[in-house]
Amino acid sequence: MRNVFIFIRRYFNFLFFIIIQVFSLYMLFHYNKFHEAAFMDVAGEITGKISKQYNSVEYYFQLKKTNEQLLEENLRLRNKLKEDFLPTDTATELVLDSIRVDSLEIYRRYLYFPAKVINNSVTSQTNYLTISRGSNQGLSKDMAVVSPTGIIGTIVNVSPNMAIVMSILHRQSRVSASLLNSGETGSIEWDGEDPQVLTFRNIPRSAHPKIGDTVVTSRYSTFPPGQPIGTIVNMEQQGGSNFYVLKVKPSTNFFNIQFVYAVRNLQKEEQDALEKIANKQE
C-alpha cells in the first residue's frame, strides 16, 4: 500500500494531467455532435479491424474442429449415396415382420470409414500411405481407400490401429476404370515417372474419347463405381491396333492428402465365394 502512495506522489502531475485530458475529451465528444460522430466513426473502424483480426486468429485455431465436423458430415453423406446400395434382383416380394430403422440397409453394399493420413510418399515407384485406423476400428486387407476428390489406393496391410495403403501411384497398381460419358472400360495404371499422369489403356477408337473427358472407376473395380479418377490430357493410338493409350491427370492431389475414407464392400465375401466355386468347376 505504501508503494502505491509513493507512486501516486511521484507521478501526481502526470496522472492529474491524464485525468483532466480524459475528462476534457469526454466533455468534447459528449456535448458536441460533430466531434461525437467523428469519434464514433473512428472508434467503429478501429474496433472493426481488431474484431476482424481476432476472428481470423480464432478461425485458425478452430480449423481442426471444423475439419473434423466436415469429415463427419461427409461420412454421413457418403454412406447415403445411391451407388453404395445394390438392390437384389428378384420378382418375389419379401415381407419382414418387423420394422427396420433404415430400410435401405438390406441393400447396402459399401460402408465408409474415415481415417487420417499420417504418412505418405509420392517420389518413389512404389508409393504407400499410412492411415491412423486399423483392425480395431473395422478395417481389413483389400479394402479400397478414397478421398473427397477421388481414389487413393488399396489397403495391403493392417495392424490394430493403423493400415498401409498401396497408392495408385505404384507400379503394381491396376484399377478397372471407365469413361464417364460412354462407359467403355479399361485399365488405369502408373508408369512410375510423373505422379501427375496416369495411363489409361484398352479404350477402343469407337469410344471417341476426347481431351477433358472424365475417367471414373468401373463396376468391375475394387472401388465403388463412379469414383473420380481424373481427366484425359493426352491421347495416343497403340501401334497396329484400334485402341488408345490415354494419359489421365489424377483428380486427387497426392502431394496434400490429409483425410481419406476406407471403403468396405459388404458383399465382397459372398461374391468371392461364388466366383471361387465357378473357377473350380471350369
**Other CB atoms within 10 A of residue 148 CB:** 13
Specify the pLDDT at position 20: 80
| pLDDT tens, residue order, the chain (282 aa) | 677 777 777 777 777 778 887 777 777 666 666 655 565 655 555 655 665 565 566 556 667 766 776 777 677 777 766 665 655 444 444 444 444 445 555 677 888 998 889 999 998 999 999 998 999 988 999 999 999 889 999 999 999 999 999 999 999 999 999 999 888 999 999 998 899 999 999 888 888 889 999 999 998 888 999 999 999 999 988 767 788 899 999 999 999 888 899 999 888 888 888 888 888 776
Q: Which of 175, 222, 221, 180 is nearest to 200 (CA)?
A: 175
Cell 481427366 -> residue: 231
CATH topology of domain 107-265: Thrombin, subunit H (2.40.10)
CB contact at 8 A, 172 and 153? no
Cβ-based burial of 250 (10 A; exposed 0-12, middle 13-18, buried ≥19): buried
Q: How far apart are CA 153 and CA 170, in angstroms?
A: 9
**Other CB atoms within 10 A of residue 37 CB:** 11
- pTM reported for the whole predicted model: 0.66
82 to each of 79, 104, 163, 251, 271, how far by Cα in Å? 9, 10, 27, 22, 20
Residues present in the chain in total: 282
Q: How far apart are CA 265 and CA 270, in angstroms?
A: 10
Q: How far apart are CA 252 and CA 190, in angstroms?
A: 14
115 to each of 68, 134, 148, 152, 170, how far by Cα in Å? 11, 9, 12, 12, 21
Domain spans, the chain: 2-61, 107-265
Q: Which of 260, 265, 229, 258 is nearest to 143 (CA)?
A: 265
Specify the pLDDT at position 28: 66
Residue 71: partners with Cβ closer than 8 Å, 6 or more residues away: 114, 259
